[in-house]
Chains A and B, each alone.
Chain A
């Protein structure tokens, strides 16, 4: 039981490039989330999903897109990367017992 896994762990992008952050969970949770964490700012919700085929915007969705074709996977797409998207990104899933986070992806946009 791996929980929530994320790839890659680290990535450096140039301005204007695009990439997909991968997230997979094996707990059969319907609810999945993407957060970004910036120093001293806590975690901000980017997008969330309540089940396969259903996604919705969180607090800071601009510049990102998501899809949810299966219960297990919830990829986050960055189009036209900007320096403001330099951050640590966490994927999470939740059941009744709580919300579980992946190990994170550290992204730098230069």
Chain B
């Protein structure tokens, strides 16, 4: 049973456009939702994260939108750049001893930003 469903599997965007990646979850106990960025040959790197007490979090060109009632969250990349081309993973975890324990990952989205 896949607990975090991510879409689309791949995405092609023109430079300057908006990239949108969506995730849906089933477990209502999840209370931490990070996004990771992974370049080829590298480990995933934490990009931005949100907790369900807010509906939106913005860091530079990256924004997470969170809809608790729909159990969905999304990553928006504004003014997408070729350097943003990477695989993006959403994830979720439920509370345990106050840490980010046992993340459940989506299957990833391969983003390509054309110049």
Contact = CB atoms under 8 A, between A and B. Distances in A.
A90 B44 CA distance: 9
Given A43-B44, A90-B44, A94-B101, A99 B89 contact: no
22 contacts: A31-B100, A31-B101, A40-B9, A41-B107, A42-B106, A42-B107, A43-B44, A43-B89, A43-B105, A45-B102, A45-B103, A50-B101, A58-B102, A94-B101, A98-B46, A98-B100, A99-B34, A99-B103, A101-B43, A102-B43, A103-B43, A104-B41
Residues of B contacting A: mostly:
loop
Contact count band on B: 20 to 34
A68 B107 CA distance: 29
A75 B42 CA distance: 19
Given A42-B105, A50-B97, 8 more contacts: A30-B99, A40-B108, A42-B107, A98-B46, A98-B100, A99-B46, A99-B103, A100-B46
A98 B41 CA distance: 21
A90 B43 contact: yes
Task: Classify chain A's interface size.
Answer: 20 to 34
Contact of B108 (A30, A42, A58): A42
A48 B9 contact: no
Nearest to A3: B43
Interface in B63-103: 89, 97-103
Nearest to B97: A50
B13 interface: no
A31 B89 CA distance: 21
Interface in A10-46: 30-31, 40-45
A79 to B, nearest CB: 24
B100 A94 contact: yes
B11 interface: no
B34 A98 contact: yes
